[in-house]
Structure 1
Amino acid sequence: METPKTAQPPLSNLQRELLGLFAKEVPEKDLIAIKELLGKYFAEKAMDLADDFWDTKGWSNEKADKILDTKLRTPYEDTNL
């Protein structure tokens, strides 16, 4: 009995580029460097987004400190009493 085939979405431009790179054998040292490069790129992009959000909201260091000191947990009611 054949398993039903599900439609696969087309590959993104990033996936196609990485597949082209992965088709070639690269030394472990280069692979580690590529992983670090990708990690740094996406970390920097996330920081840029956070900075934009910070600027858009007009936040200050005092506002950040207040958020850090705020308890944001949802209080739970004990229904067993």
Structure 2
Amino acid sequence: MEIERTTVPGTGVLHLCCPRSGIELGVLADNSGRRQLFVYDGDDHDVPLRVIVLDPDEADQLAEMLHCRCRGGHASA
């Protein structure tokens, strides 16, 4: 999967990718440490269909979940 990185002056870095599912995703890593996740509609690449704002600790937890190869059991919050 290719990842396109673009500097957004005064804001941070925008990472865009399109996984095999075909749904374009974006992550804005802003200068305050927050992360904004963007889900784009296939027809409109300028306006996200959904935006999810994560504080730094939430972004870390999500990254850990995505990286984990855990099987079964219960997750703790």
What TM-score does the superposition give when structure 2 sets the normalisation length? 0.29
Q: Which structure's relative contact order is higher, taking Cα pairs within 8 Å and 6+ residues apart? A: 2
Richer in helix (by share): 1
